[in-house]
Amino acid sequence: MPHLILVRHGQSEWNLEKRFTGWVDVNLTSTGKLEACKAGECVKEQNIDIDFFYSSFQIRAINTLKLIQNTLRNKNEIIKAWELNERHYGALTGLNKDEMKKKIGEKKILELRRSWNIKPEPLNRNSPYHPLNIEIYKSISKKNIPDTESLENTFDRVVSYYKKEIENKLTLKKNVLISAHGNSIRALCKYLFKLNNKQISSLEIPTGNPLLIELNQDLKIKSCKYLIKERAKDLIIF
């Protein structure tokens, strides 16, 4: 039976600073690098040969995956897809979460962060944080680059890519590991575990903790677990 492993990148510099990151390219902290190495060790202990490695375009996810691969001694190509990027936080990008709670209220911030279809205000296209002004996105068609996104928007691009590029690999009984982000993994979990809009708003994804999903021949979930039990979150699945 095929296995799908989902890993949120290790702690990033802006995670540590409690800033809305979105599509901005920030690297891992030393803690984040250790989380990635630990994730690799946990995957290695499962004795599962990974056939395909996927990552977003973002350096924190790519470097997490490289550290995992180093631990696994696996040099397979990393397939990078912008569709697996974090949710674009629009005008919130770069702002401190605690400061914004004081400014507009905790309830409003929670709504902007966790609602299904509410978007933050769009990010000014002249901002250095806008993807249009970040080198790694120069290869992406401008029509695909958002100014802001809801979780629903993130779901649409992540799941569309998963269905098109990844499900067929699992159907062939290949094992797949995806290194991505809190919201892109939440979106994928909504699809995989058939969560409703209320459930997805409560789903937390821990950094650097591999979620191992075993699938049956129909790609239905047979079993799932976080590999680092003491840092697991409630999957609210069953």
Catalytic residues: 9, 86
User: What does R_g of the chain's alpha carbons equal in angstroms?
Assistant: 17
pLDDT of residue 237: 52
Could you write out the DSSP letters of every residue in 122-171?
A: PPPTTSTTSGGGSGGGTTS-GGG--S---HHHHHHHHHHHIIIIIHHHHH
pLDDT at 179 over 80: yes
Q: How many CA atoms lie within 13 A of 182 on its CB side?
A: 20
Length of the chain: 238
pLDDT at 154 over 90: yes
Q: What's the CATH number for 3-89+150-231?
A: 3.40.50.1240
Residue 177: phi and psi, rounded to 5, are: -120, 130
Q: Is the pTM of this model over 0.75?
A: yes
pLDDT of residue 236: 59
pLDDT at 8 over 50: yes
pLDDT at 153 over 50: yes
Q: Where are the domains of the chain?
A: 3-89+150-231
pLDDT at 238 over 60: no
In sequence order, the β-bridge partners of residue 226 are 211
**pLDDT per residue as tens digits for the range 183-236:** 999 999 999 999 998 888 888 899 999 999 999 989 999 999 999 988 887 775
Bridge pairing between strands 176-180 and 52-55: parallel
CB atoms within 10 A of CB 196: 9
**pLDDT per residue as tens digits for the range 92-143:** 999 999 999 999 999 999 888 888 999 999 999 999 999 999 999 999 999 9
Mean pLDDT, the chain, integer: 95
Contacts of 230 (CB under 8 A, 6+ apart): none
